Structure 1
């Protein structure tokens, strides 16, 4: 079962992909990227400086031994990361 969050998180990346993140004061190591997709905003909300993309990653990650699946989002407009959804085991 998944839960929706929308919590701001701090993310470290390598070559544009998340490799670890901090959520609720815990450091999660990304074990693998399950899926990645990009959603464009409506054309009237974009500009040359801001293409208005939201980049999503579904990753398997863990703060230790307990592995879970997490959906992360990067918003190019605000350059901020959110944890959108979590499937914890």
Structure 2
């Protein structure tokens, strides 16, 4: 499977009895989802977030009030949610009706990031 990080526009609906991506627009082409093959949720590596690095004191300058135990240095206060989630959908999709010998389709991994509300195409096998 080839890896991508391309923004896509997704229209949700019902496909084979599952609510999920029904169509998506990728690189100017409309793809129709024929089947949902898998659906899962991944959490981001919290230890790589800017907030986690600020708490442990690596790679982030200290900012904000009340820092340094009275030394006058500022400390950045981490947000309470260090773990982001993204929802992934593995779908079989095509650009039109399948024609024998010329399927013109493939398997795609679509990702929805809950933190920013955007869809990405993250993988493709065609």
Two-structure CA RMSD over aligned residues (Å): 2.3
Which segments of structure 1 move beyond 3 Å, counting only runs of 4 or more? 43-47
Q: Which has the larger radius of gyration?
A: 2
- State the distance in 2 between where 1:70 and 1:81 align: 13
1:59 paired with 2:62, answer no
- State the distance in 1 between where 2:88 and 2:94 align: 18
1:27 paired with 2:30, answer yes
* Unmatched segments (≥5 aa) in structure 2: 53-78, 99-103
**Scaled by the length of structure 1, what TM-score is found?**
0.83
Bigger share in helix: 2
Which residue in 2 is equivalent to 1:40?
43
* Unmatched segments (≥5 aa) in structure 1: none
Bigger share in strand: 1
Summarize deviations over 1:11-65 as a string: whole Å, max 9, x none. 0012751000000101000001000000123396663xxx721000000001123
Number of aligned positions between the proteins? 85
Pick 1 or 2: higher relative contact order, CA cutoff 8 A, min separation 6.
1
Which residue in 1 is equivalent to 2:59?
none
